[in-house]
Amino acid sequence: MRAPLSWLREYVELPESGEALVERLPMLGIGVEGVERAGGDLVLDLEIASNRPDLLSMIGIARELAAWGGGDVHLPADDLNEVDPPAASMAAVEIADASLCPRYVAHVITGITVGPSPPGIAARLEAAGIRPVNAVVDATNYVMLEWGQPLHAFDLDSLEGRRIIVRSAAAGEYLVTLDGVGRTLDPAMLVIADARRPVALAGIMGGAETEIGPETRTVLLEAASFAPSSVRRTSRRIGLRTEASARFERGVDPEGVARAARRAAGLIAGLSGGRVLSFGVDAYPAPVPRPLIRLRLPRLGRVLGVEIPPGEVVAVLTRLGLEVRREGESVFAVPPVGRRDLEREEDLVEEVARHHGYDRIPEMMPCEVMQQGRRPVKLEAEGAARDALVRAGLTEAMTLSLIHPRVLDRLGIEEGDSWRLAVPISNPLTEDHTHLRTALLPGLLEAVRVNVARRQGAVHLFEIGRTFRAEGGAVRERRALAIAMRGAWLAGFWENARDLREVTLLHLKGVLETLSGELRAGPLAVEAGAPTWMHPARCGRVSIGGVEVGVMGELHPQVAARLDLPGRTCVSEMDLDVLLSRAVLQPSFTGVPRYPAVVRDVALVAPLRLPHAAVQGALVEAGGALLESVELFDAYSGPPLAPGTRNLAYTLTFRAPDRTLTGAEIEGLMQEICAALAARLPVAVRA
Same domain as 257, residue 143:
yes
Greatest extent of the chain over all pairs of C-alpha atoms, in Å:
121
Cα 511 to chain centroid distance, Å, stands at: 33
Query: In this structure, are 391 and 432 located in the same domain?
Result: yes
Count of beta carbons in the 10 Å neighbourhood of residue 514: 16
| DSSP sequence for 270-324 | HHHT-EEEES-EEE-SSPPPPP-EEEEHHHHHHHHTS---HHHHHHHHHHTT-EE
Q: In terms of domains, do 142 and 60 share one?
A: no
Segment-wise mean pLDDT, segments of 10 residues, the chain, 687 residues: 91 78 81 84 90 92 85 86 95 95 97 95 94 96 97 97 96 95 95 96 96 96 96 94 95 94 96 95 92 94 90 91 93 92 93 88 69 76 91 93 90 87 88 92 94 90 94 90 89 52 88 91 85 90 90 93 91 92 81 91 92 89 91 91 92 93 92 91 85
Residue 369 within any structural domain of the chain: no
Note the pLDDT of residue 500.
60
Last residue of a domain, one of 263, 283, 303: 283
Does residue 409 belong to any structural domain of this protein? yes
Q: Is residue 587 part of a domain?
A: no
SS3 345: helix
Region of 190 (left: φ > 0; alpha: ψ -120 to 50; beta: rest) is beta
Query: Three-state SS for 466?
Result: strand
Q: What pLDDT is stored for residue 333 in this prediction?
A: 96
Q: Are both 94 and 139 inside the same structural domain?
A: yes
CATH classification of the domain holding 102: 3.50.40.10
Residue type at position 122? A
- SS3 assignment, position 248: helix
Residue 586 half-sphere exposure toward CB, CA atoms < 13 A:
1
The CA distance from 403 to 465, in Å, is 14
Residues of the domain holding 37 = 2-69
Q: In what order do the strands lie in the sheet with 627-636?
A: 627-636, 645-654, 598-607, 684-685
* Statement to judge: residues 115 and 135 lie in one domain: yes
Both 503 and 574 in a single domain? yes
Is residue 327 domain-shared with residue 419, that is, in the same domain?
A: no
Side-chain-facing half-sphere of 298: CA atoms under 13 Å: 3
Interacting residues of 662 by C-beta distance below 8 A, sequence separation 6+: none
Can you give the pLDDT at residue 489?
A: 78
Report the CATH number at residue 606. Answer: 3.30.70.380
Residue type, 314: V
What CATH number corresponds to the domain at position 347? Answer: 3.30.56.10
With a CB cutoff of 8 Å and minimum separation 6, the contacts of 390 are 396
Do 660 and 633 belong to one domain?
Answer: yes
Of 30, 45, 69, which marks where a domain is finished?
69
577 and 609 fall within a common domain: no
The answer to whether residues 277 and 315 belong to one domain is: no
Same domain, 116 and 166: yes
| Residue 237 zone, left/alpha/beta (φ > 0; ψ -120 to 50; rest) | alpha
For 171-186, the three-class secondary structure string (H helix, E strand, C coil) is CCCEEEECCCCEEECC
What is the C-alpha to C-alpha distance for residues 208 and 178, in angstroms, rounded to an integer?
5
Residues 6+ apart with CB under 8 A from 85: 277, 278
Predicted pLDDT of residue 194: 96
Residue 370 lies in a domain: no
Confidence at residue 357, expressed as pLDDT on a 0 to 100 scale: 85
Residue type, 647: N
User: Is there a domain that residue 428 lies in?
Assistant: yes
Give the angle 389-395-397 at the CA atoms, nearest 5°.
110
Q: Give the neighbor-by-neighbor strand order of the sheet with 395-396.
A: 395-396, 459-471, 474-486, 569-575, 547-555, 534-544, 524-527
Domain membership flag for residue 589: no
Q: Distance (Å, rounded) from C-alpha 304 to C-alpha 358?
A: 9
Following DSSP, what letter does each residue of 540-609 receive, concatenated? EEEEETTEEEEEEEEEPHHHHHHTT--S-EEEEEEEHHHHHHT---S----PPPSS--EEEEEEEEEETT
Query: Hey, what amino acid is at 289?
Result: P
Please indicate, yes or no, whether residues 513 and 629 belong to a single structural domain of this protein. Answer: no
260 assigned to some structural domain = yes
User: How many of the other CB atoms lie within 10 Å of CB of 515?
Assistant: 26
Q: Is residue 74 part of a domain?
A: no
Q: Coil, strand or helix: which one is 536?
A: strand
**Structural domain total, the chain:** 5
| CATH assignment of the domain containing 491 | 3.30.930.10
